[in-house]
């Protein structure tokens, strides 16, 4: 399995300077464990509660973080269940909460999980602990509902045509068949942009399958309850709708540490093109 390159690693570590005297840090999206490792190395007195909904990611993180021994506890959970997890662990409040949203490279690069239109795979797109797959959304939703998903989450102006084409070709079983259904629906003048359009439609379906926006809104609410005064939350988002939830969610109950979102510099984007749409916002609990 390849590597996942952590986005804005230095900025995230510096953003949690409130941890220099120790405390409990929650990494909600431990993934390959890169951010967690950076924080555990820099702030030697912290302990980590790490979670991910994806069991494969947790295996990778377990290996990478084993050198920290008892300082690390890892769980397969959806971060929207953070409240329950902290109750189970008898932890009332924590000093840091971090989420690095979206997908890890392990997920994108796994053909059998169907996240990427560049690879042929089943229509799946589940990150883990899901109640539906991309197959269910694409083949099971009524036209109107499917159009709303695509329009709302991708702002795609050809949403109606795309949905008509999908409905005509159902059942759609693979990523290749979905790409073909989208491509064939586009007017000829738009076909040159097919990759951008397909990327956006895939992302919209993924957001629906994994209930990504609902989970994020819940996490922000939970942070208000579970962060100590002076504790910090940091979120890296990759989609404008996510960034909006973070931006407005932090307006109440937090001092905003990042007046403008922190974004990767030229060198980082060159080295890791997947970082290009990342935005980091940090708030401190008042």
Ligand X SMILES: C[S@@+](CC[C@H](N)C(=O)[O-])C[C@H]1O[C@@H](n2cnc3c(N)ncnc32)[C@H](O)[C@@H]1O
Residues of the shown chain interacting with ligand X in the complex, contacts defined by CB under 6 A: 4, 6, 28-29, 31-35, 51-54, 57, 78-80, 100, 102-104, 127-128, 215
- The distance between the two most distant Cα atoms of the chain, rounded to a whole number of Å, is 60
CB of 51 to ligand X, least distance (A): 6
- Closer to ligand X by Cβ: residue 184 or 217: 217
CB of 186 to ligand X, least distance (A): 30
- Closer to ligand X by Cβ: residue 129 or 190: 129
Is the distance from CB of 279 to CB of 262 less than 8 angstroms? yes
Query: Tokens representing 7?
Result: 């986005």
Helix (H) or strand (E) holding 177: helix 175-185
Instruction: Report the distance separating Cα 20 and Cα 44, nearest Å.
Output: 8
Beta strands in 101-207 (DSSP E): none
Pairing of strands 94-100, 23-27: parallel
- Closer to ligand X by Cβ: residue 54 or 243: 54
Instruction: Report the distance separating Cα 227 and Cα 280, nearest Å.
Output: 18
CB of 73 to ligand X, least distance (A): 15
Query: Tokens representing 51?
Result: 């979670």
- Closer to ligand X by Cβ: residue 78 or 165: 78
Nearest residue to ligand X, by Cβ distance, number only: 31
CB of 71 to ligand X, least distance (A): 17
- Closer to ligand X by Cβ: residue 18 or 80: 80
Query: Tokens representing 188?
Result: 């000829």
CB of 115 to ligand X, least distance (A): 11
Rg of the chain taking only CA atoms, in angstroms: 19
- Closer to ligand X by Cβ: residue 39 or 198: 39
Helices 194-209 and 143-154, packing angle to 10 deg = 110
CB of 2 to ligand X, least distance (A): 12
């Amino acid at each position: 399995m390849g590597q996942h390159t952590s986005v804005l690693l230095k900025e995230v570590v510096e953003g949690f300077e409130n941890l220099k005297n120790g405390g409990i840090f929650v990494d909600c999206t431990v993934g390959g464990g890169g951010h967690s490792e950076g924080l555990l190395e820099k702030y030697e007195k912290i302990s980590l509660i790490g979670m991910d909904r994806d069991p494969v990611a947790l295996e990778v993180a377990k290996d990478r973080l084993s050198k920290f021994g008892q300082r690390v506890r890892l769980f397969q959970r959806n971060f929207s269940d953070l409240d329950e997890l902290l109750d189970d662990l008898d932890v009332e409040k924590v000093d840091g909460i971090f989420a690095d949203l979206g997908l890890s490279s392990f997920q994108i690069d796994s053909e059998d999980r169907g996240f990427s239109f560049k690879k042929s795979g089943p229509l799946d797109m589940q990150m883990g602990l899901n109640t539906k797959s991309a197959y269910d959304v694409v083949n099971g939703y009524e036209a109107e509902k499917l159009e709303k998903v695509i329009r709302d989450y991708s702002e795609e102006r050809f949403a109606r045509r795309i949905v008509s084409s999908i409905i005509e070709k159902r059942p759609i079983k693979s990523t290749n068949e979905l790409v073909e259904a989208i491509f064939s629906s586009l007017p000829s003048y738009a076909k040159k942009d097919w990759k951008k359009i397909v990327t956006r439609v895939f992302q919209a379906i993924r957001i629906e399958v994994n209930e990504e926006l609902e989970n994020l809104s819940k996490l922000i609410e939970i942070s208000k309850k579970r962060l100590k005064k002076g504790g910090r939350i940091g979120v890296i988002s990759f989609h404008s709708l996510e960034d909006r939830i973070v931006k407005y969610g932090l307006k109440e109950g937090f001092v905003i540490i990042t007046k403008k979102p922190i974004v990767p510099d030229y060198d980082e984007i060159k080295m890791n093109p997947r970082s290009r749409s990342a935005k980091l916002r940090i708030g401190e609990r008042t």
